[in-house]
Amino acid sequence: MSNSNRPVTEVAAGILLDAEGRFLMGQRPEGKPYAGYWEVPGGKIEAGESVFAALKRELQEELGIDIESSEELIILEHDYPHAYVRLHVSIIRKWTGVPTGCEGQALSWQILGDALPTVEPLLPAAWPMLEKLKHLKI
Ligand SMILES: Nc1nc2c([nH]c(=O)n2[C@H]2C[C@H](O)[C@@H](COP(=O)(O)OP(=O)(O)OP(=O)(O)O)O2)c(=O)[nH]1
């Protein structure tokens, strides 16, 4: 729970998992808080929107893909200087289209497992998500 009475920013983030056990990370574009940091794709949930609808919209905008379904992995909260964020993280195994950096952002497929990501720096809230991912059955 928020311990500081700050408004909570609800965010949907999606881990695209391919058949070879790789997942996709993207680099935050210029102009956003934490520009240059790596994250999993996603963005803020709009008023009245479901987590899935937000994820579908954000992944269309950011990656140019269409997702069919998602499974909740974890919900986690992080108190950043710019916002108190509640992150709804989902796994996505099926999509159509080829993920592309539609906002000019770099993308990197990472191997699922014990190894640290080969890109850095990561958003602070990415670490508990990656820890949870390690225990995922592909
Ligand atoms: N997409 C995404 N956001 C994350 C992750 N980890 C994490 O702490 N966040 C935080 C950073 C931001 O404060 C917030 C996401 O907001 P955003 O700025 O990317 O969202 P947006 O695209 O809707 O932003 P906007 O520019 O349209 O306002 O969630 C993550 O893995 N993926």
Question: What is the set of domains in the chain, with CATH numbers?
Answer: 8-134 (3.90.79.10)
Q: Which atom of ligand 1 is nearest to the CA of 62?
A: 22
* pLDDT, tens digit (0-9, with 9 covering 90-100), for 89-120: 999 999 999 999 999 999 999 999 888 999 99
How far apart CA 78 and CA 23 sit, in angstroms, is 22
> Are the C-beta atoms of residues 23 and 109 closer than 8 Å to each other?
yes
Please count the other Cβ atoms lying within 10 Å of the Cβ belonging to residue 116: 9
Please count the other Cβ atoms lying within 10 Å of the Cβ belonging to residue 86: 17
How far apart CA 33 and CA 19 sit, in angstroms, is 32
Pocket of ligand 1 (CB under 6 A): 11, 13, 32-33, 39-44, 78, 80, 83, 85, 87, 123, 125-126
Atom 15, ligand 1: residue with shortest CA distance: 43
What pLDDT shows up at residue 5? 79
The answer, yes or no, to whether residue 48 has pLDDT greater than 60, is yes
The answer, yes or no, to whether residue 3 has pLDDT greater than 70, is no
Left (φ > 0), alpha (ψ -120 to 50) or beta: where does 71 sit? beta
Interface confidence, given as ipTM, is 0.92
9, 16, 37, 44: residue to mutate for ligand 1 pocket, most atoms within 8 A of CB: 44
The answer, yes or no, to whether residue 69 has pLDDT greater than 70, is yes
